[in-house]
Every structure is written in structure tokens, then in C-alpha cells.
Amino acid sequence: SARPTVCLRCHPPNSPQSLCTWLRYKNMTEHAPDDKKRGGLCDGSTSTSLALTWSCGFYLCSSAGMSIFNKLAITALPLPTTLVMIQMSFTVCTTLVGWRAVHIGSMRDALRWGCTVPILFSAMLVSSMFAMRHNTLGTLAVFRNIAPLITLAIERLFRVPIQVSRMTISALLTIVAGVVIYYYDTLQLSWFGFMAICLNMAFAVLERLLQRYLLAHDPVDISKPGMMLLNNGCGLLPNVLLVLLYNEPAQWSQVFGEMSSAGWGVVALSCLNGVAISYAGLRVQQLVTATTFMVLTNVNKFIVIMFGVVALREALSPISCIGVLMAIGGGLMYARARQQLTVTPPPPPKEEELSELLVKRDPR
């Protein structure tokens, strides 16, 4: 959009009309998508198209692999906390290999981040493994679409400003209807499995809100590799208590002895995939728009569900298919609606309000 022009002869710089036009222009330019910041995707070059295709494909594989490999790994090694500790230790080791990229500005920043976020991060991973163990892949993919409801409840609890429109309400109702249809038809959800999914989503939302506060509102001076190191290194400490609480060390000799080479291979793939998704997610978000990223995320859910049906012989009837489509489609609609609420510029202030503001700022 072109820069707005205001006749200063008719509307002086301090007039409500000129200020109103400038505020509207400033707000729109701050939120307008910048193709150059997205890696120049509009230049149509072959190299850019190949890089985009490879990045999107790699993200789809690693994102779908995160759920698939974790499901296979928890089946081969049915000790959730132990499995999470193995994965976190692997991430710490791979991060230390590239230690030059680790930057932590001060001890205060390290303590602010290391004493808060890793606790929720660890709880999110452990609860995810329990949810994986007691639910099918399809159930996880469908029920995780109700995460916006938990997000709204937690944001309301912490008095975070919430923007709601008719489209967001319609999307949430569509998600709930889809989940109810899926649950009613499959009946493959235990109360323990349901609680594990809800706890996992609650921990994920709390961790995301805390990260947003430490990155935007009261920012810390820590690089992304530094955050990965703190999340996984400090997150190991509460897991030591959990592994003792569930008495998993007493089962190590039996479970490890019964594991096959294929089982260890799946555990290794889950560790490698955890590092890959960290890179792939950041890479894709730099190359594509938020809408494209939402589409990729929903395509990933379909891949996970189809893998569960084909490879793991999970049940999926025509009625449950309708529930899946409604839940995932509602999730995509909700994300799109929230994006529009963020991007759409607000209406210009009223002239009376601006006049009062100018009088307060300039009593003359």
C-alpha cells in the first residue's frame, strides 16, 4: 500500500485528521506481510522453489515423525520418564557439540529461564509420553485440536487480553462437534488417557505463555541453542524425581534386556527427530506465511492418522472420518480467524478522542 498523503494546508500536523491517517498507516505497515523477509519467495527462481519444497517436505516428515516415532518408541520402551530422559540427554549432547552457538547473556537471565520454563517443558514431554502410551495416534491428533479451548481458559485465568470474533466461536464449536463425533464412534479413549491429553495440552499452553513473556514482555538475552540447552539440561532434574517416584529404575534391567535392536533403533530415531523438528520448524516459519504453516501442520495430522490406520491397524470408520475432518478443519479455521484478528488494523480513533489527546499533550 502507498504511503498516505495528507494536505498539511487543510490539516496541520497536529490535527486529528492527519494524526488519524498516520496512525492507520503505521499500524497497517507494521502488520503487513513482507515477502522479502520470507526469503524472497515471490522471485520465482528455481533455487528458491527447490529450497521451499525441500524445507516444507522436511518439516512434514519430521513433524509427522515426532508423533510416529514417539508412539513406536514408547511401545518398545514402556517407561515414559526414562524415554524422555534419554531424549533430553541426547539433545543436550548435540547442543554442546555446537557450543559456539550457545549464548547466555547473564546469570540472571539463565536463572530466570532455567528455573521456570524447563519445569513446564519437562512436564509437557512426560505427559505427552503418557498420552502416547494410553491413546492411539488418531485420538491424539483429533483431541489436540481442543487446545484453543484450554488456551482461552488459561489466558482468561491470567487476565491476558483475548480477541474473539464470530469466526473463532464457530471454529471452536466445529472442533468440539468433531471431537464428540470421533469419540462417540471410536470409543477408544480411557479416562486416564483423556486426563493425560488434557494435562499435556495445559502444560504446553503454560510453557508457551511463559516463553512469550520471557521473549517479548521481559526479554532474556539467550540464543535459541542456549534455550534448548537450558530446557533439556535443567529439565532433567525434575525427571530424576519422577523416575524415582514411578520406580522405573527397578524395571530397567528387565525392559532393557527384552528390547530388540529394532526397538533401540526406534528410540534413536525419536532422539534424532527431536533435533530435526527444532531446525525444521524454525526454517519453515522463516520461508512461508503463517497461513501456509497452518496448512502444513494440519496436513501433518492427516499423515499421522493415516499411519496409525495403515501401519498400526487403528480403527477409523466413515463416521469417525467425519469427526476427524471437522476437528482438523475447525482447528485450521480457528488459527485463520486468530490471524485475521491480529493482522486486521483497528478502526481509526474518533476525532473527538484525538482532539482530547492533543489538548492534554499540548495545553496551549
Listed range (68-82, 96-110, 289-303) with the worst mean pLDDT: 289-303
Mean pLDDT, the chain, rounded, equals 77
CB neighbours of 250 closer than 8 A, spacing ≥ 6? none
- Of all residues in the chain, the percent with pLDDT exceeding 70 is 75
Distance of CA 171 to the CA centre of its chain: 18
Q: If pLDDT is split at 50, 70 and 90, which confidence band does 23 have?
A: very low
The tens digit of pLDDT for each residue in 263-278 reads 999 999 999 988 888 7
Looking at residue 135, the DSSP 8-state letter turns out to be S
Helices 351-361 and 16-31: crossing angle in degrees, nearest 10, is: 100
Q: Which residue has the higher pLDDT, 111 or 28?
A: 111
Answer yes or no: pTM beyond 0.85: no
3-class secondary-structure state, position 279: helix
CB neighbours of 17 closer than 8 A, spacing ≥ 6? 6, 10, 11, 351
Give the Cα-Cα-Cα angle 196, 201, 205 (nearest 5 degrees).
Answer: 150
The tens digit of pLDDT for each residue in 229-249 reads 999 999 999 999 999 999 999
State the Cα–Cα distance between residues 257 and 222, nearest whole angstrom.
41
The tens digit of pLDDT for each residue in 97-117 reads 988 889 999 999 999 999 999
CB neighbours of 8 closer than 8 A, spacing ≥ 6? 18
Query: Which candidate, 295, 280, 262, places its Cα nearest to that of 52?
Result: 280
| Residues listed for the chain | 364
pLDDT at residue number 230: 93
Cβ atoms within 10 Å of 118's Cβ, excluding its own: 24
- Of all residues in the chain, the percent with pLDDT exceeding 90 is 28
Listed range (80-84, 101-105, 119-123, 284-288) with the worst mean pLDDT: 284-288
The radius of gyration computed from the CA coordinates of the chain, to the nearest angstrom, equals 24
Q: If pLDDT is split at 50, 70 and 90, which confidence band does 293 have?
A: low
Label residue 331 exposed, middle or buried (CB < 10 Å: 0-12, 13-18, 19+).
buried
C-alpha dihedral sign at 146, 147, 148, 151: positive
Give the Cα-Cα-Cα angle 63, 68, 69 (nearest 5 degrees).
Answer: 95
Give me 314's grid cell: 487403528
